[in-house]
Amino acid sequence: MNSVKFQAIISLILLWFSGSIAIAQTSADDAVRIARAEYRGGGDWYNDASSLTNLIRYVNANLPAGISQTYDDVALGSRDIFNYPFLFLTGHGNITLNRAEQSNLRKYLDSGGFLYIDDDYGLDPFIRPLLQDLFPDAELVNLPFTHPIYHQAYKFDQGLPKVHEHDGKPPQGLGLFRNGRLVVFYTYESNLADGWADQDVHNLPQSVREQALRMGANILMYTLTSAPLIN
């Protein structure tokens, strides 16, 4: 293990052990593990299984991240979500949470966890009310292009890349803050995760896939290395 990677891993461990979220690690390589959110309601939380795998591979190849090559699927109502600093949620359709699941997710986010949501087209009508129910006193807001999430390893001075046209609207990066900390990042009309998937799944140009992977790398690195406060 080179010194840069070792220092990055130590930084991640110190950051997360200072809060309430533990980092799930593999005994083989001491790597940080991340997870994909499994939810009820009929939506296809499991779609594009290659997306997160390819993002992890890209980040590890290009940045000193030290992330496990495999991710876990974890139910939002499970206490296991507290083992992961980063949860990824996507899909095309309905998502529902009962009170116990809401309470579990709320506690996870308030304890230092981070949820990244990518609308794969069709999730938006369900995710916005869900977030409103989760935190009635918090507003989902457009993040300015100057926000650090757009300026990690890669610069996105104009915000999110447009991966799929969908309804032809401009892509939006929306954030939900708790006590000054970004706890949810929601990408709408961008569909980054389709750009992470294997090339033969959506037949996207390599230039589009590269931009999607770079933005995904920014999101992941922002989550794992920052303790952000809203200005």
pLDDT in tens, 184-215: 999 999 999 999 999 888 889 999 999 999 99
Q: Residue 5 above 70 pLDDT?
A: no
Collapsing DSSP to helix, strand or coil, 119 comes out as strand
C-alpha to C-alpha distance for 123 and 113, rounded to whole angstroms: 22
Which pLDDT score is estimated for 201? Answer: 86
Which pLDDT score is estimated for 14? Answer: 43
The answer to whether 81 and 74 are in contact (CB under 8 A) is yes
Of 51, 56, 71, nearest to 193 by C-alpha is 51
Domain annotation for the chain: domains and CATH numbers: 3-225 (3.40.50.12140)
The answer to whether 106 and 115 are in contact (CB under 8 A) is no
Is 201 exposed, middle or buried, given 0-12, 13-18 or 19+ CB atoms closer than 10 A? middle
Count helices and strands in the chain by DSSP H and E runs: 7, 7
pLDDT in tens, 79-119: 999 999 999 999 988 999 999 999 999 999 999 999 999 99
